[in-house]
Structure 1
Amino acid sequence: MKIAIEEHLKCTEFPRVGVAVAKSGKLLATGYRGETKSVHAERVAIRKLTDEQIKGATVYTTLEPCVELHTDQKTSSCAQLLIDSGVNEVVIGVLDPNGTIYSQGYRKLLENNINVSFFNRKLRAAVEEESFDCGNIHKIYGCGKRRVPVVHSGNEIEVQFSETDERTIDIKWATLQSTHGCVDLHGCNGSVLVAAGARNFGDISDPTVFRFPSHYTRMRKGDIAIVKPSSSTFYVLIQVVEIFDNDIIFKWEVRNDK
């Protein structure tokens, strides 16, 4: 596990992925995303081995192996590569937060009788922090833009004012309906306001001009909401940038409450 993490730290692009392949207690090969241009880390490592070497091996990968994203994909997914290679076990650092992949690679390996386990909790936290350009997918700071999955019961996110200012506001994305082009933004009771008519954050000078607070709002692409719990000394502006089948892209900005 630690060797796989050492490999993923060599990556110069996100998401970082590192792989180590072992059998009978012996390290056989390593690889990382970017070691070979446009080749995923699992494939980089496996290409260094013979068919006999990889068969029955254990593969340690810091990120869940990918699955096919479309039917006419020219290169097989990493999950399929591992299955076809005859590996015995795959040890995963973290599940891919991309909603189109999330838990699908894990499930595909299990369905093909490959043993799957996970890094220990401490190492998972280290991988989570270093794998993605946005760090922990459940915590964001200040202002920015990111893509998050919205699956099952939703995605809870803590918005911290800055890395040095520990004031926080909790939000949650839920009930994604990509076919209808909408997703629900939740806050604590009465903390969510719709910034009706605003097209960008610069249009909003005073959040209190907007009425009808609620615990959630249904948002479409371009919509802006304000989350301001009554006890908070700051508020968060949130805009939906894009909506996909299992993911959304949103941007946010924190402001002190004057």
Structure 2
Amino acid sequence: MATNYSTSDLMKIAVKEQLKCTENPKVGVVVAKDGKILSTGFRGEVPKKHAERVALEKLSMPDRIGSTVFTTLEPCVALQANQGVEPCADLIIESGVREVFVGVLDPNGTIYSQGFKKLLEHNISVKFFDRKLRDAVEQETFEYGVIEKIIGAGKRRVPVVGSGINIEVRFSENDPQTIDISWNNLQFSHGHVDLIGPNGAVKIAAGASKFSHISDPTVFRFPRHYARMEKGMIAIVRPEGSTFCVLFKLIDLFENDILIKWEVRKL
């Protein structure tokens, strides 16, 4: 006799599927109906297939109709005209799925909220995982983790769409002091993006191409509230009175995203 699972249980099972992934972004999926699991899938289970497709293609069309999909990541949409593979949002719509539970929205600036929007436009109910589960999913899904908060040192791809993205910088998890910055005004065709910090807190590390070149971040002059960053540039953000600073290097730019490295240093 098939087990009846609660909505919370099905979310957790989708997360367990996500943990089977060996490539990023990690995505796990469960397809269920009336509390009974019909199929599961994870990214990488079948080469070159997204987790939603893996799970749905295990089912006949009658089983898909009226089902509920639990996916740890927002279903993808078409990124270009005439692409070879049907996006997952379209597959879900065409499968007659009744409801979708989403773990996190895709931070890729081209996809962000578009899958969510498309499902709603086709009268599919969309709900989200419980908050604690969303936090767990966020940590596991992407190679560089949560995008609105950074600590210590690292590397991350972040979206810069609309009014930009705000990021809170901390020296450590237990240090209450923060530096608030934002990335804004991404101009991919011109090859630059703006790093915005507190007034008078931002300096360009002119001449430096590696963090190791900067033995003392305080030696650089001409503070301002923003830096127009081009690929390879390094900027230093140090608000007045702060006991630490953060170094940012712009590694690459994309149409809606940037790839950055950072390093937080005590002063």
Matches within 5 A, 1:211-222: 211-222=221-232
Q: State the 4+ residue runs in structure 1 displaced beyond 3 angstroms.
A: 162-168
Q: Separation in 2 of the partners of 1:164 and 1:90? A: 37
Q: Separation in 1 of the partners of 2:231 and 2:93? A: 39
Task: Give, as a single letter, the amino acid of the residue that structure 2 aligns with 1:71.
Answer: A
Q: Would you say 1:83 and 2:101 are equivalent positions?
A: no
Secondary structure in 1 matching 2:120:
helix
Q: Counterpart in 2 of 1:181? A: 191
Contact 2:147–2:167, Cα closer than 8 Å, also in 1: yes
The answer for unaligned runs of 5 or more in structure 1 is: none
Distance apart, 1:41 and its partner CA: 0.7
CA RMSD of aligned residues (A): 1.7
Q: Separation in 2 of the partners of 1:138 and 1:92? A: 19
Q: Separation in 1 of the partners of 2:49 and 2:209? A: 40
Q: Separation in 2 of the partners of 1:214 and 1:152? A: 23
Q: Counterpart in 2 of 1:190? A: 200
The alignment's TM-score, normalised by the length of structure 2, stands at: 0.90
Q: Counterpart in 1 of 2:255? A: 245
1:90-139 Cα distance to aligned partner (Å, 9 max, x none): 11110011112111111121222222121122221221122122221112
Matches within 5 A, 1:156-175: 156-162=166-172, 168-175=178-185
1:146-200 Cα distance to aligned partner (Å, 9 max, x none): 1000122221222232456665422211121222222111112211111223222
Of 151-160 and 245-254, more deviation after overlay is shown by 151-160
Distance apart, 1:230 and its partner CA: 1.7
Contact 2:192–2:231, Cα closer than 8 Å, also in 1: yes
Task: Give, as a single letter, the amino acid of the residue that structure 1 aligns with 2:17.
Answer: E
The answer for unaligned runs of 5 or more in structure 2 is: 1-10
Q: Counterpart in 2 of 1:232? A: 242
Count of residues in Structure 1 that have an aligned counterpart in Structure 2: 257
Q: Separation in 1 of the partners of 2:187 and 2:121? A: 28
The alignment's TM-score, normalised by the length of structure 1, stands at: 0.93
Q: Separation in 2 of the partners of 1:156 and 1:67? A: 25
